[in-house]
Amino acid sequence: MITDGPRINHLAYADDIILFTSWDNYSLKTIMRQLRKYEEVSGQKINKAKSMFLTASHAASGTISRVKRITGFQEGNFPFTYLGCPIYTGRKRISHYAEISSKIVKRIAGWQGNLLSPGGKAVIIQQVLQSQTIHILATVSPPKIMLKQLEKYFANFFLGQSEGKNKYHWGGWKNLCYPKDEEGLGFKSLTDIQSSFIIKRWWRFRTQKSLWADYLKAKYCIRVNSVARNWSSGQSQSWKELLACREIVEPHMLWKINSGTSLFIGQDLGL
């Protein structure tokens, strides 16, 4: 449990709000009373059909029934998808990201029978299919095997089919990702994109003030500076990924002390 970190009792995005609370009667009734006051003042109504509550996996059935009775909300379960991103507990699994893969397959199936030129297919891959994964890669890191599977879908779509079967791949997807002046087609490697976003998250963690950064520092870096912190079992996989990219980022960081102020200068990373 974090004792010196930021106190977070809610998170809000657009018209959604996530509340963090204990499940005792007083806390639950207080929250519901304040929500009713909000409805009276604003004239807006909370859609209980789209609202839910989440509890720890070891929560007793009696407790869950009591929360349902007081709030009127239905119990939700992990994993679920919010703003296109899977929210889950424990280790990440391919099944958590199955929805992303299925959307790509459906998109490709809709275009597969069309008479598209190789140039047209390349534009669709670059501007539609790959762009569809940018949002998810900017926030979370799917398993690498899933990224390889998506790239396989891209390659099959680009090369087309013959007699209902995928055509033979004379070159790997990696070769197609080289720039055009290096005899590639200029596609982007999803693995490289994912690595870039993880590096960017570390960059922001080290240089920008945010609730997310304060939370991580309070959880993992109270006694040891983040530059020297080692990952240990029990810590999150997201934190492990950040530490893994640290060796790439830190050599390009220069800290200059000026009148007690840390000035950050980034070099050669293009961020």
**Residue of 140, 145, 147, 148 whose CA lies nearest to 236:** 140
Secondary structure letter of residue 89 according to DSSP: S
Residues 13 and 105: their CA atoms lie apart, in Å, by 30
The two tokens of residue 28 are: 């639950």
pLDDT score for 201? 92
Instruction: Give the residue-averaged pLDDT of 23-38.
Output: 93
Residues 67 and 77: their CA atoms lie apart, in Å, by 14
List the beta bridge partners of residue 266. 253
Amino acid in position 135: H
CA angle 173, 83, 145 (to 5 degrees): 30
Question: pTM value?
Answer: 0.79
Weakest-pLDDT range from 11-15, 146-150, 206-210, 251-255: 251-255
Among the candidates 146, 173, 188, a domain finishes at: 188
On whether residue 239 sits in a domain, the answer given is yes
The number of beta carbons lying within 10 Å of the beta carbon of residue 209 is 7
Among the candidates 188, 203, 218, a domain finishes at: 188
Collapsing DSSP to helix, strand or coil, 185 comes out as coil
The total domain count for the chain is: 3
Residues 67 and 143 placed together within one structural domain of the fold:
no
Residues 101 and 33 placed together within one structural domain of the fold:
no
pLDDT score for 162? 63
List the beta bridge partners of residue 177. none
Amino acid in position 142: P
Residue 135 has pLDDT above 50, yes or no: yes
**pLDDT by residue (tens digit) across 188-241?**
999 999 999 999 999 999 888 999 999 999 989 888 888 888 888 888 888 999
Instruction: Give the residue-averaged pLDDT of 41-63.
Output: 90
On whether residue 60 sits in a domain, the answer given is yes
Structural domain span for residue 47? 10-77
